[in-house]
Amino acid sequence: MARIDLNHIRHAYGPNPKSDKDYALKEVHHSWEDGGAYALLGPSGCGKTTLLNIISGLIHPSHGQLLFDGQDVTNLSTQERNIAQVFQFPVIYDTMTVYDNLAFPLRNRGVPEPEIDRKVRETLDMIDLASWANKKARGLTADQKQKISLGRGLVRSDVNAILFDEPLTVIDPHMKWVLRSQLKQLHQRFGYTMVYVTHDQTEALTFAQKVVVMYDGEIVQIGTPEELFERPRHTFVGYFIGSPGMNVMPVTLLGGMAQIGGHQVQLPSPAMPTAAGKIELGIRPEYVRLGRQGMPVKIAKIEDIGRHKIVRTRLENQEIAVIVGEGQDIPAEPHIAFDPKGINIYADSWRVGGQ
């Protein structure tokens, strides 16, 4: 296992990138810890797969260096980097048995048979497929096939990192949950460095210790699930994570107060930075209180999703979503109030203040 350093990496698919727009991946400069579980989260086309392919060596970055444990691997081929990868669609060797599938990477590297046998049996136990060892791989279900893909990485004890490229896309919903928890267990027991690409926030938040949110070729935030939820560094993170996403509204700052249309909201910290640009206030629906005090709103729609209700309200022309407990009733003349704990202030979409 290795620490991964992304040293000023940029990538453009075209030959002569001029402006920032030509880059599919804008500058990335980060260090990922040995044994960490990272999720790359973002919408399609945000550059997350490009970044993954740069790590695996399938793409050579236009600029910058990639280091594994301090060693420059930028110019090494995929084979030499000693990584494992699980793809979106199960990649297995159809004609081989499950056992041979797992033995394949070891045999290619000339490992002696007794050692192969030991490692393969160990891995089969890890991924719960021991009883399937002698079955042909082609007859298995999608989730078993994905486990084999994973197993081919696990069987090599010396891999630097295991990469996952949206591995649960073709898996049935109930098996997704099972696989995810098995994956997490494996990570906790054996401490692999794992990088997991997904566009599904639930997957990212449950799997990873650190979630890397990407947007438009940039990393907008790296943080624990809690940090992403409480303190989104960018309004995009606010929108993208949480269901429904964060309410973001344009405000003007006046001392310790924020002016929303005709209303004023008390900001948490007294010393708010004076920032230029477009100022917005972000607050998650979980921190908006619906009651008889505060700012008067109209209710547009109520969605009951079982555990709680999502109330879509309008404050003047601003839509604000509120989460209300299942038992709580909705007053005839609704008002909303913002919990100061949940207030974040953004200038040009980047977070400048809050609790």
Partner 1 sequence: MSVQQDTLVRTSERPEAEQHRIDKALARKMRKRGDESKFWWLIPTVYIIFLMLPIYWLINMSFKTNQEILGTFSLWPQNPTLQNYAVIFTDPSWYKGYINSIIYVVMNTVISVLVALPAAYAFSRYRFLGDKHLFFWLLTNRMAPPAVFALPFFQLYSAFGLIDTHIAVALAHCLFNVPLAVWILEGFMSGVPKEIDETAYIDGYSFPRFFVRIFIPLIASGIGVAAFFCFMFSWVELLIARTLTTTAAKPIAAIMTRTVSASGLDWGVLAAAGVLTIIPGAIVIYFVRNYIAKGFALGRV
Partner 2 sequence: MEKTWNNKAWFMVLPVLLLVAFSAVIPLMTVVNYSVQDTFGNNQFFWAGAEWFDEVLHSERFHASLGRNLIFSAIILLIEIPLGIVIALNMPRKGWGVPVCLVLMALPLLIPWNVVGTIWQVFGRVDIGLLGHTLANLGINYNYVQNPMHAWFTVIIMDVWHWTSLVVLLCYAGLVSIPDAFYQAAKIDGASRWAVFRYIQLPKMNRVLLIAVLLRFMDSFMIYTEPFVVTGGGPGNSTTFLSIDLVKVAVGQFDLGPAAAMSIIYFLIILLLSWVFYTVMTNYDAER
Give the footprint of partner 1 on this chain (CB under 8 A): 76-77, 79-80, 108-112, 114-115, 157-158
Question: Is residue 77 a contact point for partner 2 (CB under 8 A)?
Answer: yes
Question: Is residue 88 a contact point for partner 2 (CB under 8 A)?
Answer: yes
**How many helices (H) and strands (E) are present in the chain, helices listed first?**
9, 23
Candidate residues 62, 123, 144, 149; the one interacting with partner 2 per rule CB under 8 A = 149
Question: Is residue 78 a contact point for partner 2 (CB under 8 A)?
Answer: yes
β-strand pairing of 37-41 with 194-198 = parallel
Candidate residues 48, 145, 152, 234; the one interacting with partner 2 per rule CB under 8 A = 152
Minimum CB distance to partner 2, residue 44 (Å): 17
Stretch that binds partner 2, among 84-92, 119-127, 203-211, 215-223 (CB under 8 A): 84-92
Compute the chain's Rg from CA coordinates: 24
Minimum CB distance to partner 1, residue 246 (Å): 38
φ, ψ (nearest 5 deg) of residue 93: -90, 100
Contact 226, 339 (CB under 8 A): no
Angle at alpha carbon of residue 88, lines to 87 and 90, rounded to 5°: 70
Minimum CB distance to partner 2, residue 122 (Å): 18
Q: First vs last Cα of the chain: how many Å apart?
A: 37
What's the CA gap between 258 and 253, in Å, rounded? 5
Minimum CB distance to partner 2, residue 209 (Å): 24
> Toward partner 2, which CB reaches closer, 95 or 328?
95
Cα separation values, 347 from 9, 230, 234, 280, 310, Å: 26, 17, 9, 6, 28
Question: Is residue 269 a contact point for partner 2 (CB under 8 A)?
Answer: no
- Which residues in this chain contact partner 2 in the complex, by CB under 8 A? 56, 58, 77-79, 83-85, 87-89, 91, 93-96, 104-105, 108-109, 136, 149, 152-153
